[in-house]
Amino acid sequence: MSRINTSLTRIVIFATLLVLSVSNLYPLLFMLLNSFKSRAAYQTSPFGLPDLRQLAWGNYVTMISQFKILNLFKNTLIISVFTILFLLIFGIIASYAFAKLNFMGKDILYFLIISSMFVPVQVTIIPIYMLFSRIHLVNTYWAVILTYLGMFLSETILLMTSAFRGIPDEMIEAAELDGAGYFDTLRYVIVPMGSPAIILCLIYYFIVTWNDLFTPMILLTDMDLRTVMVALASLISRYSGDPTLQFAGLVLAAIPAILVYAIFQNYIIKGIGEGSTR
Amino acid sequence: MKAFAGSNFRRTKAVQGILSILPTIVILIFIRFYPIAEAIYRSFTDWNGLYRNNWIGLQNYIDIFTNSPFWTLLRNSFVLLISVPLQIFIGLIVAVLLYEEVSGWRFFRAIVYVPQIISAVIIGYLFRIAFGLDGPVNLVLRNIGLQFLAGEWLGNSATALFVLVFCLTWFSVGWQAIVILGGMAKLSPSILESASLDGADFWQKTFLVIVPMIARTIEYGAIMSIVWTFTGTFAFIYSVTYGGPGYETSTIDYMIYTKFYQASANYGFATALAVILLVIILVLTFGEMTFTNKVSEWE
């Protein structure tokens, strides 16, 4: 009796999760299917499948040849890669210091750095814009990269410091007895032992920087330097635009983050579950 | 001799420590602390970013409170906060269901989080298309005989805000579910099993057994989402409604953006808005911290 009950419960749970998954995936499927339709076909049947004999590859061709979306990809990629690179370098050394080294003012500095995490970027963006325009950094990748470092370093340090605290002191002492210097300790003890936190930062901030709109929108106005999300935001703001073409652009722009998530989702789910990031 | 080596060693460590945090300190001074100080100072001026920079005292704040859409912006933020209990409620149910580990639960767990991976620009556009005048939602409503419900969703503030609440909830449920699932992972399975054996049904088990045990996790999820609703919704609002009609669906962070691009730039006014946003966030965060401390004193 109870057995039937449990298997029934399990079917109900399975069905509920299935419904939720469909609600999460359908909008993306809708966008993908309609990106292969002509504008007329979309307007007559938005819910239908695209005609397989005449898929409208033209939307994608236009996105690549006229909208130059690959150039926009390059801009976003440069910003993401350099942001993550500096975030990891500065984050790892600072977190090592906070977790394992003793120096004057450590606690107060840690508190100051972490509390700056709560300040939203909107508060600082106008002074940052003015500062950068004085030193001719507006409309350069560096403007966005530096602003991102200011926004994300404290969160990175919070996450990595708590991970590095879990590394036993004996391991570091043993390495030092073997003659390991500062960089050897980082390379052979801290980075390998702290790798889950480091990989989480790498993936998480790739997705965040790839998808962000506000900061690059303010700091990059040059058409050739815009990130893919800034360019798409201005494309979709034209109401008269062709929706199926816009779908094609959005599909292309969504792919990199989805790919990274598909490969590394275990790290992200684990990291979020342990209460690290929003 | 040995003592000397020891203090030397300690000094080397201290120097290494300070050098290690130096890059972070320099960046934060220039990109965080100096801009915060400047924003506060400029909020008392009529700064236009160039030469005009007169001290005008509290005039910007008086203008904001008496002669600007500020109260509309604040109302909109509070309406958008309706999304927080919704996402926690749905996220909680999803987490409890995932906890049962039915076949395929790892797959479902991965899918639940997917909206968080998609850019707000894309999600916002899909919601705008969906709720457009001839969009899919109206099409379905007309076809199932509910044409009286079909209308211009984004054309007036009440329904446009409803669409935004829906959009933010859809985006955030997965995050809440994963956070709550993370909190539940620390529970001992035997408590939940004994609750089931005692004949507690799903709702009793969820709200009377699980919720009290993961109250701290839910509180964390709630405060993070509340803060995020004040500071992180710009791209959603931009791509769903452009803050319109008028300022009817704008929030404070959205108005900072529009003030930034206005031809007659009044950055003093915009920085005063930014300072108000900062105060709201600080009150929320520190309020939550003292609340949490109080709770742990009671326990």
Write the pLDDT tens digit of every residue in B250-275: 999 899 888 888 766 788 999 999 99
The pLDDT of A73-100, averaged and rounded, is: 96
CB–CB contact A21 B33 (8 Å): no
CB–CB contact A24 B115 (8 Å): yes
Query: Which band of pLDDT confidence, cut at 50, 70 and 90, is reported for residue A109?
Result: very high
State pLDDT tens for residues B64-97. Answer: 999 889 999 999 999 999 999 999 999 999 999 9
Query: Which band of pLDDT confidence, cut at 50, 70 and 90, is reported for residue B22?
Result: very high
Confidence at residue B2, expressed as pLDDT on a 0 to 100 scale: 47
- Report ipTM for this prediction: 0.89
The residues in A 235-254 lying below 8 A from B, measured between CB atoms, are: 236-237, 243, 246, 250, 253-254
Query: Which band of pLDDT confidence, cut at 50, 70 and 90, is reported for residue A2?
Result: very low
For the cut 80, the answer to whether the pLDDT of residue A226 exceeds it is: yes
For the cut 80, the answer to whether the pLDDT of residue A169 exceeds it is: yes
- A-B CB pairs within 8 A amount to 262
Confidence at residue B295, expressed as pLDDT on a 0 to 100 scale: 62
Cross-chain CB nearest to A94 (options B24, B32, B179): B24
Is the distance from CB of B98 to CB of B109 less than 8 angstroms? yes
Worst-scoring range by mean pLDDT, A120-124, A236-240, A250-254?
A: A236-240
CA distances from B70 to A141, B163, B168 (A): 34, 21, 22
Confidence at residue B205, expressed as pLDDT on a 0 to 100 scale: 82
The Cα–Cα gap between B69 and B158 comes to 16
Q: Which residue has the higher pLDDT, B219 or B290?
A: B219
Worst-scoring range by mean pLDDT, A34-43, B99-108, B232-241, B286-295?
A: B286-295
Q: A222 phi and psi, to 5 degrees? A: -65, 125
Contacts of B214 (CB under 8 A, 6+ apart): B180, B183, B184, B187
Contacts of A99 (CB under 8 A, 6+ apart): A160, A161, A164, A165, A167
Confidence at residue A82, expressed as pLDDT on a 0 to 100 scale: 97
The Cα–Cα gap between A229 and A234 comes to 9
CB–CB contact A20 B231 (8 Å): no
- pTM score of the predicted model: 0.91
Q: Which residues of B touch A109 (CB under 8 A)?
A: 21, 25
The pLDDT of A29-51, averaged and rounded, is: 85
The Cα–Cα gap between B65 and B71 comes to 7
Confidence at residue A269, expressed as pLDDT on a 0 to 100 scale: 86
State pLDDT tens for residues B166-223. Answer: 999 999 999 999 999 998 888 888 877 777 777 777 788 888 888 888 888 898 899 8
What's chain B's average pLDDT? Answer: 87
Q: How many angstroms separate the CA of residue B176 from the nearest CA in chain A?
A: 9
CB–CB contact A122 B115 (8 Å): no
